[in-house]
Structure 1
Amino acid sequence: MKGAIFVELVSMAENAFGEDVVDDVLDKADLDNGGAFTTVGNYPCSELVKIVMAFSEHSGISPEVLQRMFGHWMLDHFVENYAEFFEGKTDSFSLLEAVDGEIHVEVKKLYPEAELPVFAAERLSDNHLSLTYSSPRPLVEFCHGMIEASLKRYGETAEIGRCPVAHQENATNFDIRLKR
């Protein structure tokens, strides 16, 4: 995984718990690199999972909730640092539909070696989107948080149903129904 993801996870933790706590938690997490991450580095997802688990143990917040919180954090980071990806997107569905066909195409230009998750979106009606997420990494909750954050960004509320995709690890179908 790209180091920028790790750097942002540590930034979120520092914002939530303070730098001293983050240093202590990372020291105890038994990370291969001791918790030093750079934005240009590449690190195994297992290290990200270790960090989430360590902060879960420290805070009492479940790993699932922490991943969702991180999804919210990352959407804010993307808005701030990659505003061009949000241009012309007037609602959450238009943003979610653009992930694979537009956003990930541009990410691949910048980082050709990146292993990106797949977002297969199908708009079933004006207020109903089916989004199938599949990834080589166990980050379904992170994706759920990004969906919630995109709804929030556009001032929308929705019911979000989930169902794992049969015989595919780390794949989930999200059923998103806007409340109007």
Structure 2
Amino acid sequence: MKGIVFTEFLDLVEDKFGYEVVDEIISKSNLESQGIYTSVGTYSFSEMLQLLQHLSAHTSISIDQLLLVYGEHFFSVIERSYAGLLETYKDPIEMLASIENHIHIEVRKIYPDAELPTFIVEQRTDDSLIMIYKSSRAMHHFGLGLMNKTFAHFKSTASIVLEKIKEDGTEVKFIINKN
């Protein structure tokens, strides 16, 4: 997992809960990196999972809810760092439908060893999209947060329904209807 995902996560935790909580979740975790991350480094997903589990235990907020908030936060990183990419899209449905065939290709140019989820478009109209998310990491709520902010970026709203295809969350259907 790319280091930027860790550095931004810890920045969010510090902003929302304070440095002491960052220190606590790092200290309670068994991290090969010892909690020292660079944005361009690559780290084990198990480290992120430990940090999330300890933050969830500390805050009594579910991991899914933490991932949702983190996904919404992470969209600001995309806006700052990849504004040109966002400008190539006219609306949120178009952008979300292009995750696999455009956005992930651009991400791999910057981070060739990035392990990204797969998004399969099952159905698309001008105002709706059905996509299947597949990832062994089951971070679908992170994706949901990114989707929420995608609509906000385009000054639009949508109802997004998440249906688990596999109970462990490694395969999920997103049903998106623009309001």
Fold shared by both chains (TM-score > 0.5): yes
Alignment match, 1:132:
132
- Cα displacement string for residues 102-158 of structure 1 (whole angstroms, at most 9, x for unaligned residues): 111112122222221112225532211111111131211111111111122222222
Counterparts of 1:105 and 1:30, CA distance in 2: 33
Q: Which residue identity is paired with 2:90?
A: T
Counterparts of 2:89 and 2:166, CA distance in 1: 32
Counterparts of 1:120 and 1:168, CA distance in 2: 18
Compute the displacement of 1:167 (Å). 9.0
Q: Map 1:1-180 onto structure 2 (within 5 A).
A: 1-165=1-165, 170-179=170-179
Compute the displacement of 1:166 (Å). 5.1
How many aligned positions are there? 179
Q: Which runs of 5+ in 2 are unaligned?
A: none
Counterparts of 1:41 and 1:27, CA distance in 2: 20
Q: Is the 8 A contact 2:140 2:169 kept in 1?
A: no
Compute the displacement of 1:77 (Å). 0.7
Q: TM-score scaled by structure 1?
A: 0.91
Structure 1 123/156 Cα, relative in aligned 2: closer, same or farther at 3 Å?
Answer: farther
Compute the displacement of 1:6 (Å). 0.6
Q: TM-score scaled by structure 2?
A: 0.91
Structure 1 122/93 Cα, relative in aligned 2: closer, same or farther at 3 Å?
Answer: farther
Moved more, 7-16 or 153-162: 153-162
Compute the displacement of 1:36 (Å). 1.1
Q: Which residue identity is paired with 1:54?
A: H
Compute the displacement of 1:66 (Å). 0.2
* Alpha-carbon RMSD: 1.8
Compute the displacement of 1:98 (Å). 2.0
Q: Which runs of 5+ in 1 are unaligned?
A: none
Q: Which residue identity is paired with 1:60?
A: S
Structure 1 108/149 Cα, relative in aligned 2: closer, same or farther at 3 Å?
Answer: same
Counterparts of 2:77 and 2:166, CA distance in 1: 32
Counterparts of 1:167 and 1:30, CA distance in 2: 27
Counterparts of 2:85 and 2:168, CA distance in 1: 29
Q: Is the 8 A contact 1:121 1:132 kept in 2?
A: yes
Q: Is the 8 A contact 1:96 1:121 kept in 2?
A: no
Q: Is the 8 A contact 1:97 1:122 kept in 2?
A: no
Counterparts of 1:124 and 1:98, CA distance in 2: 11
Moved more, 165-174 or 82-91: 165-174
Secondary structure of residue in 2 paired with 1:150: helix
